[in-house]
Amino acid sequence: MQRLKTEYQDKSGLELAQICARVALDAKAEDVVILDVTGISSFTDYFVIMSGRSTRHVQGLAETIEHAMRSKRINTSHAEGLQEGMWVLLDFNDVVVHIFYHEQRSFYDLEGLWHDAKKIDIAES
């Protein structure tokens, strides 16, 4: 098993969530949001939620984020939905990335479901 690159060993979950969000924005993701679910979720600390314009765009966003994280030797422990491209979930343990086709996002309304979570500014350091 490869070790994390030295510069990423001490990154917090928030910093990893911000990296995912910035990669997504560079790949033209829409409505990117980071939710801090620390203390209200038992399985992760941060959600990164975004929308894609088409199923192919959703798939491309997922592949781009996964590749960017893999290049830092951060691998997903679980990924779902890549084939369909309607809702892709990438689990990086402390960070779970949700990439929705825009119609699916409004249907599942994760921001409403996790309304107690604090929204984090992507640019926050």
| Domains within the chain, CATH numbers bracketed | 11-120 (3.30.460.10)
pLDDT for 124 beyond 80: no
Instruction: Find all residues with CB under 8 Å of 33, minimum gap 6, and list them.
Output: 47, 48, 49, 50, 111, 119
| Residue 77: other Cβ atoms inside 10 A | 9
Q: What is residue 71's predicted lDDT score, i.e. its pLDDT?
A: 83
Residue 70 has pLDDT above 90, yes or no: no
Res 104: pLDDT: 92
Average pLDDT over residues 89-110: 93
Q: The pTM is what?
A: 0.88
pLDDT tens-place string over residues 17-64: 999 999 999 999 999 999 999 999 999 999 999 999 999 999 999 999
Cα dihedral 104, 15, 26, 28, rounded to 10, equals 10
